Amino acid sequence: ATTLGASAAEKGRYFGTAVAAYKLSDSTYSGILNREFNSVTPENEMKWDATEPTQGSFSYGSADQIVARAKSIGAKVRGHALAWHSQQPGWAQNLSGTALRNAMLNHVTQVATHYKGQIDSWDVVNEAFADGGSGARRDSNLQRTGNDWIEVAFRAARAADPAAKLCYNDYNTDGQNAKSNAVFAMVQDFKARGVPIDCVGFQSHFNSQSPLPSDYQANLQRFANLGVDVQITELDIEGSGTAQANSYASAVRACLAVTRCNGITVWGIRDSDSWRASGTPLLFDGSGNKKAAYTAALDAL
């Protein structure tokens, strides 16, 4: 096939992108989105600060716009993210203990219920583990409510939308290391105890300090072997030209080599859409032209 989405679909996968609602009126952006991708992830619009700016008052306008676009182009939606230490509304940042725990659970329930039946996969919990060699949980206001905050979030999400796949999502877990080992142990424990988890997301933000790991495929495979789907959820690779193109091809091949790797999402469309402060990490240049990285990704599918 001649587009990322259609080619991935031939392999039983999706190929998605992060989408910003305010860019949907940009015709270059929308043209590429509508043509190339069969999954979308709202880049910021489903986060806690966006969906519940005031406690108990929910605002879904921007996220609903993205979901409507997804529906009109036949794309899946990855929901991102229900519980996270970052991009919390100010009122939640000021809560702790039982009040925060209950606010988080209510948030998970309300948002998952609003989108019930419309989400392929939810990032229920994002970035809950610490970087470095400790294998510990990240310290956060949510973590300080008790170590079981992750599993109660997953149970609330399952109750609200039983059809959505429920994912744990993180970065620096793309290769085998202390952090991914800790996530692995959590997923293994959840499966053993019947905590509902269906997938693990690997953000896959790569740069010269943290390039695509040589054991990327092996790491995806070991998680898949636990009985969960694995997804590349926020792929971007700094660099340019042939080196960048080869890295994109390797990432695509790693996913295709793992039966339960069921989709890839890039974190933006054009280089100018990237969240990164500098660089050219995406598949289309600032004018919307296909880069070598695009062709390499398409050819690898």
Decide if residue 36 touches ligand XIL (CB under 6 A): no
Site for ligand XIL in 218-247 (CB under 6 A): 234
Residue 106 Cβ vs ligand XIL, minimum distance, rounded to whole Å = 21
Residue 51 Cβ vs ligand XIL, minimum distance, rounded to whole Å = 13
Residue 126 Cβ vs ligand XIL, minimum distance, rounded to whole Å = 5
Residues that bind ligand XIL (rule: CB under 6 A) add up to a total of: 6
The beta-carbon contacts of 86-94 under 8 Å, at least 24 apart in sequence, are: 86/126, 86/127, 87/44, 87/47, 87/48, 87/49, 87/50, 88/48, 88/49, 88/141, 89/48, 89/49, 89/52, 89/53, 89/54, 89/55, 91/54, 91/55, 92/48, 92/52, 92/55, 92/141, 93/141
Site for ligand XIL in 268-297 (CB under 6 A): 275
Spell out, one character per residue from 178 to 217, where the chain touches ligand XIL: x when CB under 6 A holds, - when not: -------------------------x--------------
Q: Of 44, 65, 210, 272, which one interacts with ligand XIL (CB under 6 A)? A: 44
Residues 6+ apart with CB under 8 A from 179: 129, 130, 131, 132, 135, 170, 172, 173
Decide if residue 177 touches ligand XIL (CB under 6 A): no
- Residue 52, phi then psi, degrees to nearest 5: -140, 65
Which one of the listed residues 43, 52, 127, 234 is annotated catalytic?
Answer: 234
Site for ligand XIL in 99-158 (CB under 6 A): 126
151 is catalytic: no
| Alpha-carbon torsion (208, 14, 233, 77), positive or negative | positive
127 burial via Cβ count (<10 Å: 0-12, 13-18, 19+): buried
Residue nearest to ligand XIL (CB): 275
Decide if residue 43 touches ligand XIL (CB under 6 A): yes
| Footprint on this chain of ligand XIL (rule: CB under 6 A) | 43-44, 126, 203, 234, 275
Active site residues per annotation: 234
